[in-house]
């Protein structure tokens, strides 16, 4: 017989010695022992490894010391305990009892009767398991999933072990005797209540302390102690902000102003710049038109550059206001971001928060200076810098050009393209005809630098004079001859020879030197009529007059004016003229 059985038998004998057989039989029948029931007992002996408990049965039950847990040191003979009767007799012929299981059943019954799903209960975080934490609910173990520990993700669950928290019962499974709890739901509910109260206490215009919770490209979310507010990038500073991270860091504590509250959507709009004075309120007084200001280039756009005059106040220098003389197409060619510049205030729009600045206005308009320096009629010398189909641009000074229109290139010739007279690089003398500082235009005259030979043409040519010249143009009805004084005369096809001429080119060639007689001078229309056949001997004044009338009758209206269409006649003639000119 084992020692445990011997001790149990001895105890049984010791007890029964005090009672008669009849009393023992009566006592045993008083209790209706059944497995899986809780029975009451008394410690009758405390040993090193456990205690014997009298439950009123013919033999005591044995409770291992480990089931007492921390209470084992204080347990003593005579203490009364409730235990679970697992079996009437075990292999040692003793009742099988469990102190822990009795405590669990009592605790389970107490919790399930007092608390239901959705109830709040305190629980101690015991230890980690896969997917969560085991919780002690006054003797009953429950499971707290990792996702239910806190509102946000939990990085280290060990930080919670050994701490007691209020928990919400999510699920009770009576069959499996397990409970699932949540801390997150209580936090969320608490936060919702706090948010509702906070929104109720909040008012537009209030200054609130908060913590930067998150930063995006368009702004930052500020935790106001339960309510998140949006601080938009446009409300961070009166100055230009390209990225919220220029001003804020996650976790930073700041003070913000409440700009708007949407109770329905539970949204709060916040402002940081509104805590300080709006610098635009006094810009019209501080920066009147004409004021010289200093600032830093903070941004460059295709149309101009933005200058920060003071914190929160920027002005725009448009490309058109960067130079008096140069055509600026890229602001970056003139200024760079970060560069300190001086500018002049051109216009202030307080309501629109716009200030127009000028860079070129720091110096006097050179066009006005030129207008004073070169009044109309002044002679200048300059170099041809550019040519167009309608004229030539001549540099006067300081990169300022004046234009000589084709109509002002010659007194005597009709100039159709400036290339006929000038080329890039030529140095010319010209007369200032007009200077318009507002439109930045200067009109020059090339012919005005010389005397108009037509004003005293009679000093150079008279009817009947024999003249020499060079063929400069051939047209279907005649040829133009360049005479002295750069005057062109026209030999009509009828005046080339006494014989009939079918084509001018059959008789004359470009560049050919010829002699002819003057048969007509028309000062009003600036035209000289020539005749080669009038050189023949015996040609008198009557013949000259007859030749003039013959030309007048042969010319069609407009031909004498020398227009391009009449000059070139047919397409074939035009091609031939162009070919000869090229040669």
Per-residue pLDDT of 272-317, as tens digits, reads: 888 888 888 888 889 999 999 999 999 999 999 999 998 889 999 9
Residue 16 has pLDDT above 50, yes or no: no
**Higher per-residue confidence, 48 vs 26:** 48
Report the CATH number of the 115-187 domain.
2.40.50.140
Share of the chain above pLDDT 70, in %: 88
For domain 366-449, give its CATH number from 3.50.50.60, 3.30.210.10, 2.40.50.140, 3.40.50.10470.
Answer: 2.40.50.140
Residue 388 has pLDDT above 90, yes or no: yes
pTM of the model: 0.48
Please give the CATH superfamily to which domain 202-275 belongs: Nucleic acid-binding proteins (2.40.50.140)
Instruction: Give all strands of the β-sheet with 80-87 in edge-to-edge order.
Output: 61-64, 50-54, 37-46, 80-87, 96-98
Q: Which fold has domain 279-362?
A: OB fold (Dihydrolipoamide Acetyltransferase, E2P) (2.40.50)
Residue 460: pLDDT band with limits 50, 70, 90: confident
Residue 478: pLDDT band with limits 50, 70, 90: very high
C-alpha dist (Å) from residue 225 to 199, 206, 219, 420: 11, 15, 19, 84
Span(s) in the chain for CATH 2.40.50.140: 3-104, 115-187, 202-275, 279-362, 366-449, 455-582
Query: Parallel, antiparallel, or unpaired: how do β-strands 379-387 and 427-436 relate?
Result: antiparallel
**What is 104-159 written as a DSSP string?**
HHHHHHHHHHH--TT-EEEEEEEEEETTEEEEEETTEEEEEEGGGS-SSPPS-GGG
Report the CATH number of the 3-104 domain.
2.40.50.140
Residue 84 has pLDDT above 50, yes or no: yes
DSSP letter at 447 equals G
Q: Which fold has domain 455-582?
A: OB fold (Dihydrolipoamide Acetyltransferase, E2P) (2.40.50)
Measuring CA to CA, which residue among 413, 385, 451, 454 is closest to residue 404?
A: 385
DSSP letter at 39 equals E
Residue 224 has pLDDT above 90, yes or no: no
């Amino acid at each position: 017989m084992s020692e445990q059985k011997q001790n149990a038998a001895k105890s049984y004998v010791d007890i029964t010695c005090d009672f008669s057989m009849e009393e023992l039989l009566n006592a045993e029948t008083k209790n209706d022992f059944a497995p899986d029931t809780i029975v009451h007992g008394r410690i009758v002996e405390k040993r090193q490894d456990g205690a014997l408990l009298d439950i009123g049965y013919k033999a005591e039950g044995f409770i291992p010391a480990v089931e007492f847990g921390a209470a084992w040191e204080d347990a003593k003979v005579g203490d009364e305990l409730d235990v679970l009767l697992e079996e009437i007799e075990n292999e040692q012929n003793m009742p099988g009892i469990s102190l822990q299981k009795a405590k669990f059943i009592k605790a389970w019954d107490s919790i399930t009767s007092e608390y239901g799903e959705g109830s709040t209960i305190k629980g101690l975080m015991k230890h980690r398991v896969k997917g969560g934490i085991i919780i002690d609910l006054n003797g009953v173990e429950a499971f707290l999933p990792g996702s239910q520990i806190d509102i946000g993700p939990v990085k280290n669950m060990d930080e919670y072990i050994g701490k007691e928290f209020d928990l919400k019962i999510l699920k009770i499974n009576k069959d499996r005797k397990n409970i699932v709890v949540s801390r997150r739901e209580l936090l969320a509910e608490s936060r919702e209540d706090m948010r509702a109260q906070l929104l109720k206490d909040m008012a537009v215009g209030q200054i609130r302390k908060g913590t930067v919770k998150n930063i995006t490209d368009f702004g930052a979310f500020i935790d106001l102690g339960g309510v998140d507010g949006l601080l938009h990038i446009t409300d961070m500073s009166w100055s230009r902000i390209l990225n919220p991270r220029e001003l804020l860091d996650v976790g930073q504590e700041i003070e913000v102003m409440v700009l708007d509250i949407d109770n329905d959507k539970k949204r709060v709009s916040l402002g940081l710049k509104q805590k300080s004075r709006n610098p635009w309120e006094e810009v019209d007084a501080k920066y009147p038109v004409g004021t010289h200001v200093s600032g830093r280039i903070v941004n460059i756009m295709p149309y101009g550059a933005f200058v920060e005059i003071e914190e929160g106040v920027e002005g725009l220098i448009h490309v058109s206001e960067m130079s008096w003389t140069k055509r600026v197409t890229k602001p970056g060619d003139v200024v760079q971001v970060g560069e300190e510049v001086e500018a002049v205030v051109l216009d202030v729009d307080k309501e629109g928060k716009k200030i127009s600045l000028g860079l070129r206005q720091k110096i006097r308009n050179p066009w006005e200076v030129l207008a004073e320096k070169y009044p109309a009629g002044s002679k200048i010398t300059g170099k041809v810098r550019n040519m167009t189909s309608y004229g030539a641009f001549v540099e006067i000074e300081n990169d300022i050009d004046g234009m000589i229109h084709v109509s002002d290139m010659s007194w005597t010739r009709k100039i159709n393209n400036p290339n006929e007279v000038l080329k890039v690089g030529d140095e010319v003398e010209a007369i200032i005809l007009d200077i318009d500082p507002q439109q930045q235009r200067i009109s020059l005259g090339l012919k005005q630098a010389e005397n108009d030979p037509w004003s005293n043409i009679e000093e150079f040519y008279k009817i009947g004079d024999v003249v020499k010249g060079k063929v400069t143009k051939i047209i279907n009805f005649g040829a133009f001859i360049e005479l002295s004084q750069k005057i062109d005369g026209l030999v009509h096809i009828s005046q080339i020879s006494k014989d009939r001429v079918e084509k001018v080119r059959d008789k004359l060639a470009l560049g050919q030197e010829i002699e002819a007689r003057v048969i007509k001078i028309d000062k009003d229309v600036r035209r000289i009529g020539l005749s080669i056949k009038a050189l023949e001997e015996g040609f008198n004044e009557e013949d000259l007059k007859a030749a003039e009338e013959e030309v007048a009758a042969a010319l069609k209206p407009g031909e004498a004016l020398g227009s391009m269409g009449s000059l070139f006649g047919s397409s074939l003639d035009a091609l031939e003229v162009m070919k000869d000119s090229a040669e």
